[in-house]
């Protein structure tokens, strides 16, 4: 973990919410915000913790997960940059319901939760942008959960690969940021099933994989499997 210089008004990674703050509010935010560079594998927050900060993800990817009643991890979502982590806990609970772990090297800003809450209360435009982001997050998660429940394994696996391709990397080639176990926890199956599914896609010429580098070779077929899975 490395501390980085931070001044919100000069930040190139400002969120839509921060862009509507007044100069005075930006100064208040800057004075109660610490920028940190994190390495892959570091933990941001644990389930059951009493958080004192909102975490703004400036760069990198973070997984949000929860431990089920059988002790098995379920990944809720892969979080992309320009996202506030911990807002649901701040507004709706006293302790965190999720675990957050860095999947790729990342830069984050730790924001004093009391200051963040103050800005939400006093600036309606800021609050609106935060609520809009939360609603989009919830809608995306709801749709993904429905698809995981209604699709067969290959359909879920194809959908997850397309999500990395379209929503996260915007490229047919990318380094898969999760392990086979993580991918299994994301689509509600086993690691062995993920490995078999990826191997099947490779043999059929739908994707190519070398170590963790994925290349989508037949995007049309992958969409068909996702849609009909």
57-108: pLDDT as tens digits: 999 999 999 998 888 899 999 999 999 999 988 888 888 889 999 999 999 9
**CA angle, residues 199, 147, 42, in degrees to nearest 5:** 70
Pick from 87, 122, 147: which residue ends a domain?
A: 147
DSSP-derived secondary structure letter, 20: G
Residue 111: count of CB within 10 angstroms of its CB: 22
pLDDT tens-digit series, residues 130-160:
999 989 988 988 888 888 788 899 999 999 9
- Tell me the H-state helices in the chain: 23-30, 87-92, 113-122, 124-150, 153-163, 180-187, 191-203, 219-228
Scan for tokens 């701040």, then name that residue. Answer: 90
Same domain flag for 205 and 163: yes
- Total domains in the fold of the chain: 2
Is residue 174 over pLDDT 80?
yes
41 and 59 in a single domain? The answer is yes
164 plus 90 within the same structural domain: no
One domain for residues 16 and 127: yes
- Residue 19 shares a structural domain with residue 85: yes
Whether 40 and 140 share a structural domain: yes
The radius of gyration of the chain from alpha carbons, rounded to an integer in Å, stands at: 19
- Whether residues 162 and 142 share a domain: the answer is no
Residues spanned by the domain of 74: 2-147
Question: Do 13 and 104 share a structural domain?
Answer: yes
Q: pLDDT grade, residue 6 (50/70/90)?
A: low
What pLDDT, on a 0 to 100 scale, did the predictor assign at position 143?
85
In this prediction, residue 7 has a pLDDT band, given cuts at 50, 70 and 90, of low
* pLDDT for residue 10 is more than 80: no
Which of the 8 DSSP states describes residue 19? G
Do 95 and 169 belong together in one domain? no
71 plus 103 within the same structural domain: yes
Q: Which residue has the tokens 């609106």?
A: 128
Determine the Cα–Cα distance for residues 47 and 49; give it in Å rounded to an integer: 6
């Amino acid at each position: 973990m490395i501390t980085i210089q931070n001044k919100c008004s000069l930040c190139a990674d400002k969120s839509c919410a921060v862009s509507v703050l007044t100069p005075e509010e930006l100064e208040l935010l800057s004075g109660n915000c610490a920028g940190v560079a994190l390495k892959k594998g570091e933990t941001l927050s644990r389930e059951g913790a009493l958080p004192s900060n909102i975490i703004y993800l400036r760069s990198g990817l973070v997984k949000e997960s929860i431990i089920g009643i059988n002790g098995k991890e379920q990944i809720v979502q892969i979080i992309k940059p320009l996202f506030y982590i911990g807002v649901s806990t701040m507004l709706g609970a006293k302790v965190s319901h999720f675990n957050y772990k860095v999947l790729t090297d990342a830069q984050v800003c730790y924001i004093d939760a009391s200051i963040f809450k103050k800005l939400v209360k006093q600036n309606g435009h800021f609050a609106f942008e935060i609520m809009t982001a939360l609603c989009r997050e919830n809608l995306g998660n709801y749709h993904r959960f429905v698809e995981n429940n209604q699709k067969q394994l290959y359909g879920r696996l194809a959908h997850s690969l397309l999500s990395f391709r379209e929503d996260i990397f915007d490229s047919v080639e990318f380094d898969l940021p999760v392990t086979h176990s993580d991918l299994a926890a994301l689509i509600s199956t086993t690691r062995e099933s993920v490995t078999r599914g990826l191997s099947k896609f490779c043999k059929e010429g739908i994707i190519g994989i070398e170590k963790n580098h994925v290349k989508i070779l037949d995007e049309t077929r992958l969409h068909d499997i996702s849609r009909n899975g």
